[in-house]
Structure 1
Amino acid sequence: MRYAGVIILLVATWTTLPESEGAKILGLFNLNGRSHFVMFQSLLKGLAQKGHEVYVVGHFPQKKPIANYTDISVEGCLPVLVNNFTVDFVRDLGYVNLLDFIWKLTLDMCDTVLQQPNVQNLIASSDKFDLIITEIFGPDCFLGLAHKFKTPVISMISSVMLPWGNDRVGNPDNPSFIPNYFVPFTDEMNFFQRFMNTIVYMGTKLGSYYIGDLAMDELGRKYYGEDLPPLAELKKNTSLIFVNSHFSLNIPRPTVPGVIEVGGIHIQRGGKLPKDIEQFMNDAKHGVIYFSLGSLVRAETLPKETIDMLLKVFSKVPQRVLWKIEYSGQLPSNIMASKWLPQFEILSHPNTKVFITHGGLMGTQEGVYTGVPMIGIPLFADQELNIRNAMTKGVATLVHYESLSEQTITHALNTVLEDPSYQRNAKYLSQLFRDRPQTALETAIFWTEYVIRHHGAPHLKSAAVELPLYQYLLLDVVTAIVFLFVTISVIAYFAVRKVLTLLCGHKSKKVKKN
């Protein structure tokens, strides 16, 4: 009898296990951007470690097998993007070209990926999944699979919320105080900025539908069948969106329950520095300056005169400098350069005093997490937006690429190194960024399992998802109010006029009698 209590407890525990235990999850990622996949991979690996069966269609298969994690690789079907862009290329990649890339070139990527044998086999299969995870970037070419498998969908965004992502879950997106991804504004905008933000807000939403979604409808029918519903309808089945933002760094904004901020989910502690770098940093009596233009852009494609100018500036500072650049020339004794550097581990070192960055969101988050002040040299996309967000917190200063010179970079270094407020603000912002009830990964895993447990969690969906734009903006109500006001005003006008006419006529009759 003494084991009866134990048996009852085991039975009770087994019967109350969450339904998401051991779920079968399919991750689908057509974009071959490693910086994006770093975020997605954190969640996918975390789910596998929790015991879920995870299958991943993507360009970056694991080099070592991971338990419960199966790659459905499409590696090699698209050109490698990692460390493959020149500075001139990204500088010429204005917002129009960037939108062309997002809406048109990613559609070509979809076409290529959907042709791959592994993906064709998946489309033709009769597999069953408990959840599908996709990326919101360009036209979503994998929502057709979610429709085929009748599976709930969670989407992820590796940046702050993209303007066309909000509509999936009815998330409010007011351009009066929420800056669009494509403008470098803060949440405090003047009239001109609000005007431009509204134009961009409307333009990107319309462009996403007419250029991206409609073209994807045609491509989707090619691969999933003629009975595939329009992409605009498939998007409404999105259960949840994970966004790579956090209110401490990015602007606070209203969100529906179906939008979860998981900024910094890619940050994993515990890595170690290579011995040569660790020694170099340990021996830096005046600290270390770390300089990186990210994983896409090759710093060695900077103009030679710019590289020489930067070397001249760095050679004069008392700090040591770690520079992510492939450089074969002679370096000053205080500079160490390499094609690859362990960024988070370098930023985590107590001797790191300044982070010179292009302003990529994940790198910016790492700088914030580790409490390191930043100098931003934005090159394209959302990088200036990210740096300006950090500037409003007092943890960064900005040097425009066009104005990059010995004077501007020296002034920026002196400002950040000599003004103690930057260090103080950086430490405080780090505390705000870290102060959460759960880590970003724990948060994402909880809500992923929540969607699985509740079979898509339709109760999270806002009614705004089903509203046409004119109803969402209350244009019909405003029109009715204006019509009613005009009608009452017209009636009142004629009524008063009639009364005045009668009164004037009555007075004139009295005058004639007299």
Structure 2
Amino acid sequence: MKSCGLRLCLLLTLTLTLFDYVTCAKILAVFHAPSFSHYILGAKLLRAVAEKGHHVTMISPFPLKDPPKTWRDIVLEDYAKGFNFGNLLNLATMSGYRKEITVNEVGCELIRRVATHPSFIGVINSNETFDLIIVERFMNEAILGLSHRFSAPYIVFSTIGYSRWTNDMVGNPGSTAYIPDLYLHYGNNMTLWQRFHNTFFYCFANLYRHFFTLPKQRSILKETFPYAPPLEDLYYNASLILMNTHVSIKYAVPSVPNMIDIGGFHVSPPKPLPKDLKQYMDDASNGVIYFSLGSIFLSKDMTPEIRDIILRVFSKFKQRVVWKWEDDITFSSPSNVRFEKWISQQDILAHPNLKLFITHGGLLSTIEAIYHGVPLLAIPIFAEQFMNAAEIESLGYGLKLYYTDITEENFSHLVNELLNNAR
């Protein structure tokens, strides 16, 4: 009887194991943007999926550290090589119209490079099968041919939350009367002129896309996936859109049922800071100001004039400062300013002595600061950061200062307001 029972137990275990194996999905994900902050979101989402036992193949410019056993990287090595924007801080002066044109041009070139990259070609020419495709929404309509190539549904991940980039894919209504365009400087509480300009810009952006961008994307689709259906048939067939936003950090917007807010999912429990940095912050009886322009824009690219203005202002405050500075220090600085080439941002934002975060206004940084209850001074540089900065000020969890408007008086006034106004 015992032998029979043991056999039955082993058979049941084997059956359940096989059932678990066959219910695991094979997922192909493409996060091609050459931005580490975009990659962080994709990797965070898909790592959790892989740790549940699903098989994830990730196509991106970056490899994952300590990947799960069911994870495979397809690295797009050097695919963005040759793009040279010079000093990226100069983008702060670019108009919304120029941004729209530039991002569309760069987006088409990037996706063409992805489509012709040997690693990508190896995947689409393989005999592999996938149950699901996940793609980041970033000027990449042609990549939706993967859905046809592998006969699999696809999910879109929007790193910037709601925008015309996602609304039109699923027929989501969006009113230009109170939903600002991602490339303009407006919050949701627009004046009559701003509403008119917002509507005009929306028309311009859509006309430019239809007459200049989509023909390029159709060409790439035809070259890469010659048997795929028309681009429109693929584009309007998204099964789900995951939105990097949340009702707690955004004004009310319409949302069709397959648009799901997941903003904040990337926030992790804080880890201990390096011993010397922790001691520096622990001993700051008047608190600490943290300054970082993110992973793309570099503080070291500031002009000496702007840098010195900021340092003079910091020298007047009692608070200590931690500044993410990516190069060796070759200039004099106040005794209350500490420079770090790299900082674990979520860990420093979680420190109880942190009183203010000066940021470029990226959405990840904004979400992390809100989560930890740290007020923001946003200095937007490019893309949707101007809209984020306007919303930060409009919704009351910080203030904004344009990079081109930095003066000792302006900067000092705003820092003082954020440090001393109890709101």
Normalised TM-score (structure 1): 0.76
Amino acid corresponding to residue 285 of structure 2 in structure 1: K
The residue correspondences of 1:484-503 to structure 2 (distance < 5 A) are none
Structure 1 position 323, deviation (Å): 0.5
Q: Work out which of the residue numbers 363, 387, 390 in structure 2 matches 1:388.
A: 390
**2:189 corresponding residue in structure 1:** 188
Structure 1 position 269, deviation (Å): 1.7
Structure 1 position 113, deviation (Å): 1.6
Amino acid corresponding to residue 367 of structure 1 in structure 2: A
Structure 1 position 409, deviation (Å): 1.3
Structure 1 position 253, deviation (Å): 0.7
Contact 2:180-2:198 within 8 A present in 1 as well: yes
Structure 1 position 330, deviation (Å): 3.1
Q: Deviations over 1:136-166 (max 9, x none)?
A: 1213232112111110000111112231321
Q: Cα gap change, 1:339/1:85 in structure 2, threshold over 3 Å: closer, same or farther?
A: farther
Corresponding position: 1:44 with 2:46: yes
Contact 1:78-1:109 within 8 A present in 2 as well: yes
**1:29 corresponding residue in structure 2:** 31
Structure 1 position 356, deviation (Å): 0.9
**2:283 corresponding residue in structure 1:** 283
**1:146 corresponding residue in structure 2:** 147
Amino acid corresponding to residue 222 of structure 2 in structure 1: R
SS at match of 2:142: coil
SS at match of 1:333: coil
Structure 1 residues without counterparts, runs of 5 or longer: 422-514
**1:425 corresponding residue in structure 2:** none
Contact 1:85-1:298 within 8 A present in 2 as well: no
Q: Cα gap change, 1:20/1:108 in structure 2, threshold over 3 Å: closer, same or farther?
A: farther
**2:266 corresponding residue in structure 1:** 266
Q: Cα gap change, 1:337/1:32 in structure 2, threshold over 3 Å: closer, same or farther?
A: same
Q: Deviations over 1:287-308 (max 9, x none)?
A: 0000111111111221112111
The separation in 1 between residues aligned to 2:185 and 2:93, in whole angstroms, is 17
Q: Deviations over 1:199-219 (max 9, x none)?
A: 222222232232222211111
The residue correspondences of 1:48-197 to structure 2 (distance < 5 A) are 48-79=50-81, 86-197=87-198
**1:310 corresponding residue in structure 2:** 310
Amino acid corresponding to residue 223 of structure 1 in structure 2: T
Amino acid corresponding to residue 176 of structure 1 in structure 2: A
SS at match of 2:79: coil
Q: Deviations over 1:223-271 (max 9, x none)?
A: 211x322222211221011111112212211101110111122222232
SS at match of 2:165: coil
SS at match of 1:237: coil
The separation in 1 between residues aligned to 2:374 and 2:164, in whole angstroms, is 30
Q: Cα gap change, 1:184/1:20 in structure 2, threshold over 3 Å: closer, same or farther?
A: farther
Corresponding position: 1:246 with 2:246: yes
Contact 2:100-2:183 within 8 A present in 1 as well: no
**2:220 corresponding residue in structure 1:** 219
Amino acid corresponding to residue 262 of structure 2 in structure 1: V
SS at match of 1:341: coil
In our comparison, the structure showing a higher alpha carbon Rg is 1
The separation in 1 between residues aligned to 2:106 and 2:402, in whole angstroms, is 28
The separation in 2 between residues aligned to 1:417 and 1:89, in whole angstroms, is 29
Write 1 or 2 for the structure with the bigger share of helix.
1
The residue correspondences of 1:432-511 to structure 2 (distance < 5 A) are none
Contact 1:153-1:240 within 8 A present in 2 as well: yes
Q: Deviations over 1:454-490 (max 9, x none)?
A: xxxxxxxxxxxxxxxxxxxxxxxxxxxxxxxxxxxxx
SS at match of 1:165: helix
**1:485 corresponding residue in structure 2:** none
Q: Deviations over 1:75-124 (max 9, x none)?
A: 22213989x86254322443233222322222111222222222112111
Amino acid corresponding to residue 193 of structure 1 in structure 2: Q
Contact 2:181-2:202 within 8 A present in 1 as well: yes
**1:234 corresponding residue in structure 2:** 234
SS at match of 2:141: coil
Amino acid corresponding to residue 284 of structure 2 in structure 1: A
Normalised TM-score (structure 2): 0.91
SS at match of 2:358: strand
The residue correspondences of 1:253-402 to structure 2 (distance < 5 A) are 253-325=253-325, 326=327, 327-402=329-404
SS at match of 1:353: strand
Contact 2:92-2:404 within 8 A present in 1 as well: no
The separation in 2 between residues aligned to 1:21 and 1:193, in whole angstroms, is 51
Structure 1 position 383, deviation (Å): 1.4
The separation in 2 between residues aligned to 1:48 and 1:351, in whole angstroms, is 36
Amino acid corresponding to residue 249 of structure 1 in structure 2: I
Q: Cα gap change, 1:19/1:92 in structure 2, threshold over 3 Å: closer, same or farther?
A: farther
Q: Cα gap change, 1:397/1:65 in structure 2, threshold over 3 Å: closer, same or farther?
A: closer
Q: Cα gap change, 1:188/1:93 in structure 2, threshold over 3 Å: closer, same or farther?
A: closer
**2:417 corresponding residue in structure 1:** 415
Contact 1:164-1:204 within 8 A present in 2 as well: no
The separation in 1 between residues aligned to 2:20 and 2:143, in whole angstroms, is 28
Contact 2:271-2:347 within 8 A present in 1 as well: yes
Amino acid corresponding to residue 139 of structure 2 in structure 1: G
Amino acid corresponding to residue 372 of structure 1 in structure 2: V
The separation in 2 between residues aligned to 1:63 and 1:298, in whole angstroms, is 24
Structure 2 residues without counterparts, runs of 5 or longer: none
The separation in 2 between residues aligned to 1:270 and 1:372, in whole angstroms, is 15
Q: Cα gap change, 1:420/1:85 in structure 2, threshold over 3 Å: closer, same or farther?
A: farther
Out of 368-377 and 187-196, give the one that drifted further.
187-196
The separation in 2 between residues aligned to 1:141 and 1:93, in whole angstroms, is 27
